[in-house]
Amino acid sequence: MSSSNRKDSVIVRIAGAAGDGIASAGEIFGRICSRDGLHVMAYNAYQSAIRGGHVWLQLHVGSQKTLSHGEKPDVLVLLNRTSPPVHIPDVKEGGVVFYNSSLITEDLSKMRDDLTYYHFPFRELVNEPGVEAVMVNVMLIGCVLQVLGLNAEVGLNFVKERLGKKGEQVVQMNQRILKLGMDWAKENAKQLDVSLKGDGKRRMFLTGNHTFAMGLLAHGLKFYAAYPMSPSTGILHYLASKAKSHKIIVKQCEDELAVVNFVIGAAHAGVRAACATSGGGFSLMTEGIGLAGMMEEPIVVISVQRGGPSTGIPTKHEQGDLIQMVGASQGDFARIIIAPKDIEDAFHAAGRALNLAEKYQTPVLVLSDLFLSEHFQTAEPFQVKLPIDRGKLERSVNGQYKRFLITEDGVSPRLVPGVPGGMYCSASDEHDEEGLVTSDVLAGLPEARQIRNRLHAKRLKKLDVMRAEDMQPPTLTGPEDADLTLMGWGSTYDVIEEACQYFKREGLRVNHLHFTDLFPLPVEKVLEVMNSCKEIIGIENNFTGQMSRLIRMETGYHIKRSVSRYDGEPFTGEDIYHRVKKELTYV
């Protein structure tokens, strides 16, 4: 095959047991590629076990931007005995399998004879004191670097950068093991017929949880609280590591009930405050969400969806919590729900959420999911696009102060407690403009009902202003006159874009409608975009088509066809392509 016809991307899967260093091997390999100017998207499929259980990590590496972690691997790396029968059937025809023959002793070619198998005896190659079995993952990275024709020096330099704090002896040992893997593959394995040419630009390699945390920090966060709950815990870890340098308070609480109330208290005191959790934790927070709605406190809650209900599949992916967000807590009150589409959007969404919370003095709920929050991906440096907007935050009192003053836009002037002349009540009960509880003041008289009506309408005025000023309609990418439109929301953006590329190769005209602002929907703008589409198929990682249901509830538009995935794994573009083609065959 000529160099011009060689593939410019490759899919690598590493499989083993929890505790075998799968995640660290994938992260090291991905960071080496990112430093060589390549693009990487990685997905880690793991079980809810500290050690043991079957896990695998897949990386899609390319000279151009990769839009998913891919389906079938070109290169498979096996670290334990239970992995071969699980993953060998998935490898592309003509693919390559590396395995540690010190541990895996059976003849793997009996499973498939169309693959190339490379077995290396790790313990025979490295038998010196201090070398642990888990370090086989470093040697395997060396093998993969060699067969893909990647830059050895970049790999060796990264090992030094990554392990430098552990001392020169540890660095030298790992560099030697990495190089041992490269040398072994150079002598015993053939290079794959791929052309992975990086552009020399060093890129970040990070997760959505990293970028959520970075976005909060870059946009003025001062207080963060959380109870560790997968898959949101990465935000807590990152912010805890930056608390001292960025002069913020990070509080790990005993449960999510405490978390949301800590955040409400911090927001009430006048600082930008946020928390993160997953569906089960958010369920505990819902009464607090209503409290923030009634007290008109600006809080940001990031909820990282996973498979449910209850504990469900706690380390797996789903988009099943949208309706929960819309209905969180009892009664009517204004809230905003946004769902960023990728890791860069997560950075900007975090800052936007802080601004919107303070502008409207209401909860802003940011919907992430396991894939967006935990998958690693290369990215260019982020630019801060939004200035910090603290809304109607007043510094002094001029005359009588009414905390819940009825205004044209429903948003009242807000004071930090302690301003001279600015005393007020802030209660969870219905209250008047000064915050006095109506049941105490008027004891159920008709005037109390009138106050209830006026204050309740004031708070809900915000929804109309939100729709008009800040809620963005869905984007429509691809040919305007497409015969078919794929609709998605949140983290499915890249994979739907990839699916559209598959259809384009067949000469089919398919475009992509995508929502990131979920509630309240700007109805007229949404209908204008959707009415321009000929036929829409909803693409969602849930059983019931929750976004399609919300669209119908808000606009009356009925998306009649859908493609759903709810087995705990995220879509890929190839997966969507095949599922949509199957759906189109139904009458």
pLDDT digit string (tens) for 71-85? 999 999 998 888 999
Q: What's the mean per-residue pLDDT of the chain?
A: 93
The CATH number assigned to the domain with range 3-202 reads: 3.40.920.10
Q: Which residue has the higher pLDDT, 358 or 6?
A: 358
Q: Which residue has the higher pLDDT, 224 or 151?
A: 224
Contact yes or no for 259/277 (Cβ under 8 A): yes
Residue type at 519?
A: F
Handedness of CA 324, 329, 332, 334 (dihedral sign): negative
Question: 116 to each of 75, 80, 111, 146, 183, how far by Cα in Å?
Answer: 10, 18, 12, 15, 18
Listed in order, the ranges of the chain carrying CATH 3.40.50.970 are 206-379
Average pLDDT on 488-514 reads: 97
Average pLDDT on 208-226 reads: 98
Per-residue confidence (pLDDT) for residue 50, from 0 to 100: 65
Question: 94 to each of 3, 20, 138, 406, 458, how far by Cα in Å?
Answer: 18, 27, 25, 70, 66
Q: Which residue has the higher pLDDT, 79 or 466?
A: 466
Question: 395 to each of 178, 419, 420, 421, 480, how far by Cα in Å?
Answer: 59, 7, 10, 11, 50
- Among residues of the chain, what percentage have pLDDT more than 70? 96
Average pLDDT on 15-43 reads: 91
Per-residue confidence (pLDDT) for residue 441, from 0 to 100: 63
Structure confidence by residue, pLDDT tens digits, 227-272: 999 999 999 999 999 999 999 999 999 999 999 999 999 999 999 9
The CATH number assigned to the domain with range 206-379 reads: 3.40.50.970
Q: Which of 123-127, 138-142, 372-376, 393-397 has the lowest mean pLDDT?
A: 123-127
- pLDDT surpassing 50 at residue 587: no
Per-residue confidence (pLDDT) for residue 370, from 0 to 100: 97
Per-residue confidence (pLDDT) for residue 586, from 0 to 100: 56
Per-residue confidence (pLDDT) for residue 1, from 0 to 100: 43
Q: Read off the pLDDT band of 2 (50, 70, 90).
A: very low
Per-residue confidence (pLDDT) for residue 351, from 0 to 100: 98
Q: What kind of fold does domain 475-584 have according to CATH?
A: Rossmann fold (3.40.50)
Structure confidence by residue, pLDDT tens digits, 269-286: 999 999 999 999 999 999
Rounded Cα distance, 110 and 561, in Å:
43
Q: Which of 48-52, 131-135, 179-183, 388-392 has the lowest mean pLDDT?
A: 48-52
Per-residue confidence (pLDDT) for residue 130, from 0 to 100: 66
Average pLDDT on 556-580 reads: 97
Listed in order, the ranges of the chain carrying CATH 3.40.50.920 are 475-584
Q: Which of 185-189, 398-402, 409-413, 489-493 has the lowest mean pLDDT?
A: 398-402
Listed in order, the ranges of the chain carrying CATH 3.40.920.10 are 3-202
Run of H or E including 232: none
Per-residue confidence (pLDDT) for residue 47, from 0 to 100: 80
Beta strands in 19-156 (DSSP E): 39-45, 52-62, 75-78, 96-100, 116-120
Average pLDDT on 6-10 reads: 88
Which residue bears the tokens 């888990």? 134
Helix axes 233-246, 208-218, angle to 10 degrees: 30
